[in-house]
Amino acid sequence: MIAPLLDHLAAVDTLFIAPDGPLHAVPFGALTDDRDRRLLERFAGVRLLQTGRDLVARERPATGTGLVALGGVDFGPPPDTEPAAAAPATDGDAVPLTGLSACNTGQGVFDDSEGLEGLPRAFYVAGAKAVLVALWPIGDAATATFMARFYETWLADPTLSPAAALQRTKRVHDIGSANPAARDPAVWAPFVLYEG
pLDDT at 50: 67
d(CA 167, CA 164): 5
Whole-number pLDDT of residue 29? 82
Query: Which is nearest to 20 in space by CA: 116, 125, 106?
Result: 116
pLDDT tens across the length of the chain (196 residues): 777 777 888 888 888 777 777 777 788 888 888 888 888 888 877 877 766 666 665 554 444 443 333 344 444 555 554 444 443 444 445 678 888 888 888 887 777 666 667 787 777 777 788 889 998 898 888 888 889 999 999 999 989 999 899 999 998 887 777 788 878 888 888 999 888 6
* Per-residue model confidence (pLDDT) at position 153: 93
pLDDT at 70: 38
- What's the rounded Cα separation, in Å, for the pair 59 and 85? 27
